[in-house]
Structure 1
Amino acid sequence: MTEVFYQNINTSEYLNIESKPVHIKERLDIEIIDNSFLPGAKEDDWFAHSALPALKIIEKERPGKIRSFLSIGSGPGLDVLASAEVFGSSKLTLTDLQGSVVKSAIQNIKSNLLEPEKIEVNGYSGDLFEPLKKANGNPRFDLIYENLPNVPIPEDEDINKSRSSTHYIEKRSEKIPEEVKAALLDLHYLAIQQAPEFLEENGSLISLISGVIPIDTITSIEKYVDGVKIEVLFYNWNIQTSFYSVVNKYATQEEQGYGPFIFYRENDLKKAFEGISDEESGKKAREIEKSLEDKRLTATEALKLLKQGENIGYTITIIKTSINV
């Protein structure tokens, strides 16, 4: 039997806007089925905390130009609804691994738009861009967003059960560069590799990547994918809460030779990011990372401190991939 959760979300609070929303309802009624990723409180919700500020930066750079938006691995569709408000897009599309999640997300989107009859909403189920390759007309988008998982699912877990869809199946047929694989960036690499086929001429792919991985390792993907340019758009930090606690999983991966995976004490992160605005964070990302160099903790060290009750955090890197013409 499918387990269903419902969340009622104050739109202005979630989107951090002072005015009433103009494209989506003031309160969002969101259905979350048991295979879908479960959003957390605002500070724990990666989209609201980090992706949303990045999308607002895009809108400032290209006001009114993001007419089509695609989310890869959307879950309940909150990211798509937020983009509808930020960009006023007329074409909204999402994918997810399971068809039941896509069906639920489509319903969430249509039922929370103020004028759904004026918006084209599409959903596809399948792996990465594969379902779009099968769609008629090879759809292209002004902006694609992905927050794909880094951590492989344990072999004894079923990707189709519970909320294990927040992990990924490690065994893939595609060839992944060793440097990328060691950093657990497999799915982000594949998304960057495949995205240009689905981008409009001036379109871009936004990737939200946990900053437990060094910035230079993340941006090194550029050298393995022809014809793309990668830049850090937004840089942020957050606390590792118990709900999202995956430190032990990263520690296990370190034991198996992956990494390095980097964590920090909360106070060190606060000091490093003090006075940095959203707009300048991407440009100053490497400078911030450099200032934290002697404060680094391995996942194993972070796990030990976390168990002792110390607040441990990590950085979040959002990169923008565009077609290099």
Structure 2
Amino acid sequence: MFVGEFPAKLAMTLQNCDSTVGNDNDCEGLNVPAKYLSPVITGSELYSDLNEVTVNFEDFFSIGKPQKVLSQFTFKLTQLTYLPKVNNPRRDWVASVAVLAFLAHGAQNQVRAFVTVGTGSGLDAIAAFEIFELDRLAITDLHPAVVHAAVENIRSAILGRDVFIFAAAGDILAPLVGGKYDLIYENLPNIPLGPQQTINAGQTSSTYVPCRFENIPAIATENLLALHFLALVQAKPLLSSTGAGISSIGGRVPIAVLLKMASEAGYTAEILAYTWKIQSEPEEVIGGYKKNQVDGHGPFYFYPASVLEKAFHSLSPAVAGGQAADIEKSLLSFRVDALGAYELHRNGLIMAHTVAIVRSTPL
């Protein structure tokens, strides 16, 4: 359950720490800042009635003043749209991960035609529009209502010249027929839906329908990477001659597993960038990984947020990408599997995970 001395000690003494909100004292002997402790939370972070969110570009993305996008815009959300963490960007996947992936790739490559798979609110498309010089943009998501709202959000936020937007609902890249793209980005879910869950009720952004007809290798199914594998397979005929796929994957399994998965899909893969993210929706997500680990998948690993902040604080994501294997090795004694991570979460510790931005080019 707990891998290494640090997590085991942490689990034993956590309840004795002063985790009062606003207290700046570290837990005695554990060097865990109070900002990474919270009152014990067992409920959901997911909303049920919110239908609009206002985004301040500079505050949310932290990449400076926008040139092609409004400095502030309001997003419309459906009941099926994933809620952006506008008040806590460190928990938000677009703000803390997707933007880094786009910047790292854009520093080396020109992107004129871009796809984002499973766009949700459309924030990732907005970021891509600001960072790249796009002529064509394609977005997909599973639900038509989500796609419709995302298109409205994108149109209302972008400035200047027109960009052609193709938007369609469907499974992974299935809605895209013909056309070539310079970059296909995905941050698809990892956790299979449970038998009592439905994809058409509420936010299910971290889950997917597990029944698939495709032939998926064991390395993908055993490590809950099935949709990432399928996205790469489906991306091949859609990539331009210099195109690439970027898989943004929470590093809850070893880096070697991620690279092997891409290889099985017929790609040469590299870690473009490496970073970390506070686990959003910890009750649902860590709980989901815990269930799947108990069922024989994984194991899956998490870390106390304070550990990852310290490990990555002096490294840019691009630099960390080149050192990813060494960083992963240095963190071995701090990692906690899903069972232990869930216990720590329930006791008030903010958990996090590494993020590997895997860039894959067809063989």
Q: TM-score, normalised by structure 1?
A: 0.92
The Cα shift of 1:305 comes to 1.5
Letter aligned with residue 275 of structure 1: S
Instruction: Work out the CA distance in 2 between the residues paired with 1:207 and 1:244.
Output: 24
User: What displacement does 1:50 show?
Assistant: 1.2
Deviation at 1:165, TM superposition (A): 4.3
Equivalences, count: 314
How far residue 241 of structure 1 moved from its aligned partner, in angstroms, is: 4.5
Aligned match of 2:324 in 275, 285, 290? 285
Moved more, 238-247 or 70-79: 238-247
Percent same amino acid at aligned positions? 32
Given candidates 264, 268, 272, the residue that maps to 2:311 is: 272
Letter paired with 1:23:
K
- SS of 2:360's equivalent in the other structure is strand
Q: 1:222 aligns with which of 262, 282, 287?
A: 262
Cα offset, 1:25, TM superposition: 1.1
Partner residue of 1:100?
A: 145
Paired residue for 1:205?
A: 245
Secondary structure of 1:128 counterpart: coil
User: Following TM superposition, where does structure 1 have runs of at least 4 consecutive aligned residues deviating by more than 4 angstroms?
Assistant: 241-245
Tell me the CA shift for residue 245 of structure 1: 4.7
Match of 1:301 among 340, 346, 350: 340
Residues 70 and 241 (structure 1), Cα distance of their counterparts in 2 relative to 1, 3 Å cut: closer
Question: Larger radius of gyration, structure 1 or 2?
Answer: 2
Q: Which residue of 2 aligns with 1:85?
A: 130
Counterpart amino acid of residue 73 in structure 2: L
Describe the SS at the equivalent of 1:51: helix
Query: Aligned residue for 1:156?
Result: 196
Deviation at 1:53, TM superposition (A): 1.2
Structure 2 counterpart of 1:140: 180
Gaps of 5+ in 2: 1-47
1:1-325 aligned at under 5 Å gives the runs: 5-19=51-65, 21-40=66-85, 41-62=88-109, 65-115=110-160, 118-133=162-177, 138-226=178-266, 228-242=267-281, 245-324=284-363
Query: Any stretches of 5+ residues in structure 1 without a counterpart?
Result: none
Which amino acid counterpart does residue 208 of structure 2 have in structure 1? Answer: Y
Sort the Cα spacing of 1:200 and 1:241 in 2 relative to 1 into closer, same or farther, 3 A: closer
How far did 1:5 drift?
A: 1.2
Give the CA RMSD over aligned residues.
Answer: 1.7
Query: CA–CA distance in 2 between the matches of 1:165 and 1:18?
Result: 28
Work out whether residues 37 and 166 of structure 1, in 8 Å CA contact, stay in contact via their aligned partners in 2: no
> Is the 1:202–1:323 Cα contact (8 Å) retained in structure 2?
no
More contact order relative to length (CA 8 Å, sep ≥ 6): 2
Q: Secondary structure at the match of 1:246?
A: helix
Residue deviations 1:111-169, cap 9 Å, x none?
211136x2111101100111113xxxx01111111000001111211101111244100
TM-score, length basis structure 2: 0.83
Deviation at 1:269, TM superposition (A): 2.0
Could you tell me how far apart the structure 2 residues matched to 1:28 and 1:276 are? 31
